[in-house]
């Protein structure tokens, strides 16, 4: 028998390995930024075009490469960073596999320019799909510039698999943040499609966080410092009251490398126990420094996982360090020289006598008004109008036989008929056929029996179709605000808002300006309360960040869904009779009334037959 095993040709083997290292443009960003850091650069520029699909370029002022090294750097397993297996346990660099450049060059058009300080001229190399197409001498500053163009040009399947530009850019910015946060001693800039998105000068850690996440972050940070034999912890946690619904701002760095660890995350969460509103997550920016011998990062080239020798001790130390800081912050103000003095009590208030707090009781308080109601009330003393109970009996005499699925066949009880039952009762003002159950469902009689509608989902459907229509016809009505509304966002949120601006305008938003960290709004869609605007935009940004796009992803669809979600009547909100009816009517005027925008059932029906069966 002939031998059947063959060695894969190099370029095929390289493509396969590339799949491991390079999953998306953000992976290229990570590898190139890390190489620049390993080269000792203190100024690094990242240039992005079309979310990295057209271009990812990193320019550094590091030590550069010699002519031979420039050529060698693209060979697989060519690295200057380790010489033997033992070095793996003494890693002080980001890279060590010598795989990144080889992998990137296998699936993109790469141009490398590099010059060492001691040389007068540098080298320029062009490599396309692992093949060096040219090598020349070039006049270039000391350092290295790597341009990666047309990623996955030779693997169309991978290229098609990339997500929308918004999502890919989001991943790139995440990667950029992680690297920039781990290295405040290096200046970073990010240019996206020709405009500067971030410019981060060399600074201390607090300033770096503020430069990335916006000036407002400064007051939210509580310092954490702990130095023990096994580990050093330094950084900040966010004050509990600023905790967010999304897990965005959570960063662990171990020896300046961003890592993810559910276990250590849990340590922080437990330190915050009792301090956070449910459903919110504390932010943290924590650097752990440990002996490189006690960790193993050689798990997977792109994974941000790490193995610690003694996780339990780490957990305990981290938890207690964070608890300690939170305690200090809550009980006595910490002596923090970086603290913004404006945040302390102003002098004029210091001598003011404190007044005994008055207890005021809001008698009209309805604990079910909000979703996060604490305890159900045993009894309500508020006198409810009694007009609604009768609708329970309405229409039972008429048995229909509409099919359960066919919502178009659902016909509502007419009012005249219901009213007639109570003709002799003088109190009847107007009889309705809807009834609200537990401030969550709207029960309505239908010819065949009854229907139960989920008010939150139903309203989402109504709003979603409205917004979608406005987005397509582009002539939504807008209501002018008396005073412009100023909202603060972090620079990366602004990137997203800028991308959605045109669509948002089609729904009725009017932006007077979108600046680096501030959005000024002078008009909102009709019916959107001013107080909701910041919540809507925050939710929208977080939805875009966490979006898992389907193949036919459209920005308008996401926007409509997100706004519908924010604005829909919540579970727990009590509705007037006419509001209930209006909602039911609007729902059944929708194109797809039977499901919410996220495909959840909006209503169920129960026929009288089914009810009858229950009474056997």
Return residues touching ligand ADP (CB under 6 A): 31, 35-36, 39, 60, 62-65, 73, 78-81, 95-102, 144
Q: What are the distances in angstroms from CA 107 to CA 27, 58, 159, 411?
A: 13, 17, 10, 60
Interatomic CA distance for residues 95 and 101, integer angstroms: 11
Question: To the nearest whole angstrom, how small is the minimum distance from the Cβ of residue 97 to ligand ADP?
Answer: 4
Whichever of 63 and 158 has its CB closer to ligand ADP, that residue is 63
Whichever of 102 and 451 has its CB closer to ligand ADP, that residue is 102
Q: Which stretch binds Mg ion (CB under 5 A): 34-42, 296-304, 525-533, 595-603?
A: 34-42
Bridge partner residues of 287 (DSSP):
234, 253
Whichever of 35 and 140 has its CB closer to Mg ion, that residue is 35
Q: Taking CA 539 as the corner, what is the angle to CA 486 and CA 369, rounded to the nearest 5 degrees? A: 95
Question: To the nearest whole angstrom, how small is the minimum distance from the Cβ of residue 26 to ligand ADP?
Answer: 16
Quickly list H helices, 197-282.
205-213, 262-271
Residue nearest to Mg ion (CB): 95
Question: To the nearest whole angstrom, how small is the minimum distance from the Cβ of residue 110 to Mg ion?
Answer: 14
Whichever of 182 and 495 has its CB closer to ligand ADP, that residue is 182
Question: To the nearest whole angstrom, how small is the minimum distance from the Cβ of residue 109 to ligand ADP?
Answer: 17
Whichever of 143 and 508 has its CB closer to ligand ADP, that residue is 143
- The one of ligand ADP, Mg ion, none whose footprint includes residue 252, by CB under 5 to 8 A per kind, is none
Q: Burial, 207: exposed, middle or buried (Cβ in 10 Å; 0-12, 13-18, 19+)?
A: middle
Considering only CA atoms, which of 26, 66, 52 is closest in space to residue 147? 52
Whichever of 114 and 507 has its CB closer to ligand ADP, that residue is 114
Question: To the nearest whole angstrom, how small is the minimum distance from the Cβ of residue 603 to ligand ADP?
Answer: 57
* CA 234 to centroid of chain Cα atoms: 25
Question: To the nearest whole angstrom, how small is the minimum distance from the Cβ of residue 106 to ligand ADP?
Answer: 11
Interatomic CA distance for residues 23 and 17, integer angstroms: 11
User: Which tokens is 374 given?
Assistant: 């604490």
- The one of ligand ADP, Mg ion, none whose footprint includes residue 39, by CB under 5 to 8 A per kind, is ligand ADP
Single out the residue of 14, 15, 27, 35 in contact with Mg ion (rule: CB under 5 A).
Answer: 35
Q: Taking CA 389 as the corner, what is the angle to CA 596 and CA 582, rounded to the nearest 5 degrees? A: 35
Look at strands 250-254 and 284-289 and give their pairing: parallel
Sign of the alpha-carbon torsion through 21, 26, 28, 31: negative
Question: To the nearest whole angstrom, how small is the minimum distance from the Cβ of residue 56 to ligand ADP?
Answer: 13
Interatomic CA distance for residues 593 and 408, integer angstroms: 9
Whichever of 99 and 249 has its CB closer to ligand ADP, that residue is 99
| Interface with Mg ion: number of residues (CB under 5 A) | 3
Question: To the nearest whole angstrom, how small is the minimum distance from the Cβ of residue 199 to ligand ADP?
Answer: 20
Question: To the nearest whole angstrom, how small is the minimum distance from the Cβ of residue 107 to Mg ion?
Answer: 16
Residue 361: CB partners within 8 Å, gap ≥ 6? none
Question: To the nearest whole angstrom, how small is the minimum distance from the Cβ of residue 112 to Mg ion?
Answer: 13
User: Which tokens is 340 given?
Assistant: 């913004």
- The one of ligand ADP, Mg ion, none whose footprint includes residue 417, by CB under 5 to 8 A per kind, is none
- The one of Mg ion, ligand ADP, none whose footprint includes residue 98, by CB under 5 to 8 A per kind, is ligand ADP
Length of the chain: 616
Interatomic CA distance for residues 62 and 511, integer angstroms: 42
To the nearest 10°, the Cα dihedral for 177, 179, 185, 187? -60
Is-contact 595 461, C-beta < 8 A?
A: yes
- The one of ligand ADP, Mg ion, none whose footprint includes residue 507, by CB under 5 to 8 A per kind, is none
- The one of ligand ADP, Mg ion, none whose footprint includes residue 80, by CB under 5 to 8 A per kind, is ligand ADP
* CA 397 to centroid of chain Cα atoms: 52
Whichever of 79 and 507 has its CB closer to Mg ion, that residue is 79
Whichever of 98 and 572 has its CB closer to ligand ADP, that residue is 98
Whichever of 29 and 36 has its CB closer to ligand ADP, that residue is 36
Q: Taking CA 203 as the corner, what is the angle to CA 197 and CA 206, rounded to the nearest 5 degrees? A: 90
Bridge partner residues of 132 (DSSP):
127
- The one of Mg ion, ligand ADP, none whose footprint includes residue 519, by CB under 5 to 8 A per kind, is none
Question: To the nearest whole angstrom, how small is the minimum distance from the Cβ of residue 38 to Mg ion?
Answer: 7
b vs e for 168-193, b when ≥16 Cβ sit within 10 Å of the residue's Cβ? bbbbbbbbbbbbbbbbbebbbbbbbe
Q: Does 326 bind Mg ion (CB under 5 A)?
A: no
| Residue corresponding to tokens 């912890």 | 233
- Which strand (E) or helix (H) includes residue 441? strand 441-446
- The one of Mg ion, ligand ADP, none whose footprint includes residue 167, by CB under 5 to 8 A per kind, is none
Question: To the nearest whole angstrom, how small is the minimum distance from the Cβ of residue 65 to ligand ADP?
Answer: 5
Residue window 75-114: x/- pattern of binding to Mg ion, with contact defined by CB under 5 A: --------------------x----x--------------
Whichever of 52 and 95 has its CB closer to Mg ion, that residue is 95
Whichever of 32 and 450 has its CB closer to Mg ion, that residue is 32
SS (H, E, C) 516-583: CCEEEEEEEECCCCHHHHHHHHHHHHHHHHHCCCCCCCCHHHHHHHHHHHHHCCCCCCCCCHHHHHHH
Q: Does 458 bind Mg ion (CB under 5 A)?
A: no
User: Which positions lie near Mg ion, rule CB under 5 A?
Assistant: 35, 95, 100
């Amino acid at each position: 028998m002939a031998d059947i095993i063959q060695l894969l040709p190099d370029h095929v083997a390289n493509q396969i390995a590339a799949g491991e290292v390079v999953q998306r443009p953000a992976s290229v960003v990570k590898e190139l930024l890390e190489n620049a850091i390993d080269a000792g650069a203190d100024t690094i520029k990242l240039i992005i075009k079309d979310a990295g699909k057209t271009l990812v370029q990193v320019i550094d002022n590091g030590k550069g490469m010699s002519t031979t090294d420039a050529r060698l750097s693209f060979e697989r397993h060519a690295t200057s960073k380790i010489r033997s297996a033992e070095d793996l346990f003494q890693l002080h660099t980001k890279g060590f596999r010598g795989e990144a450049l080889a992998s990137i060059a296998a699936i993109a058009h790469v141009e490398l320019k590099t010059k060492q300080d001691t040389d007068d001229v540098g080298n320029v190399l062009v490599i396309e799909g692992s093949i060096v197409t040219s090598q020349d001498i070039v006049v270039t500053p000391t350092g290295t510039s790597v341009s990666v163009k047309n990623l996955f040009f030779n693997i169309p399947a991978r290229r098609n698999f990339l997500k929308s530009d918004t999502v890919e850019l989001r991943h790139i910015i995440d990667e950029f943040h992680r690297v920039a946060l781990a290295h405040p001693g290096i200046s970073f800039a990010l240019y996206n499609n020709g405009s500067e998105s971030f410019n981060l000068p060399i600074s201390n850690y607090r300033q770096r966080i503020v430069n990335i996440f916006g000036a407002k972050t400064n007051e939210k940070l509580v310092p954490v410092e702990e130095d023990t034999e096994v580990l050093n912890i330094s950084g900040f946690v966010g004050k509990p009251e600023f905790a967010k619904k999304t897990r965005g701002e959570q960063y662990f760095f171990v020896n300046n490398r961003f890592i993810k660890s559910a276990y250590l995350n849990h340590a922080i969460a437990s330190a915050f126990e009792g301090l956070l509103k449910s459903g919110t997550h504390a932010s943290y920016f924590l650097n752990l420094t440990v002996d490189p011998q006690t960790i193993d990062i050689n798990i997977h080239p792109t994974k941000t996982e790490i193995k610690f020798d003694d996780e339990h001790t780490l957990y305990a130390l981290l938890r207690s360090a964070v608890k300690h800081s939170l305690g200090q912050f809550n009980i006595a103000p910490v002596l923090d020289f970086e603290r913004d003095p404006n945040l302390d009590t102003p002098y004029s208030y210091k001598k003011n006598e404190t007044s005994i707090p008055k207890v005021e009781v809001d008698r009209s308080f309805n604990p079910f008004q909000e979703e996060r109601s604490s305890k159900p009330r045993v009894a309500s003393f508020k006198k409810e109008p009694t007009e609604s109970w009768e609708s329970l009996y309405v229409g039972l005499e008429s048995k229909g036989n509409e099919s359960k699925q066919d919502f178009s066949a659902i016909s509502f009880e007419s009012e005249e008929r219901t009213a007639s039952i109570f003709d002799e009762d003088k109190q009847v003002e107007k009889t309705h056929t809807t009834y609200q159950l537990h401030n969550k469902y709207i029960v309505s009689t239908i010819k065949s029996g009854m229907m139960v509608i989920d008010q939150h989902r139903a309203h989402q459907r109504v709003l979603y179709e409205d917004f979608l229509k406005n987005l397509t016809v582009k002539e939504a009505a807008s209501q002018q605000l008396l005073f412009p509304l100023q909202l603060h966002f972090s620079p990366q949120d602004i990137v997203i808002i800028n991308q959605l601006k045109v669509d948002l305008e089609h729904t009725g938003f009017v932006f007077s300006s979108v600046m680096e960290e501030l959005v000024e709004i002078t008009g909102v869609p009709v019916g959107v309360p001013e107080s909701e605007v910041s919540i809507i935009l925050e939710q929208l940004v977080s939805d875009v960040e966490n979006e898992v796009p389907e193949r036919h992803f459209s920005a308008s669809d996401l926007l409509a869904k997100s706004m519908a979600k924010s604005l829909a009547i919540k579970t727990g909100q009590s509705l007037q009779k006419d509001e209930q009816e209006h909602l039911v009517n609007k729902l059944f005027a929708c194109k797809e009334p039977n499901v919410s925008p996220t495909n959840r059932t909006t209503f169920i029906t129960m026929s009288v037959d089914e009810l009858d069966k229950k009474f056997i």
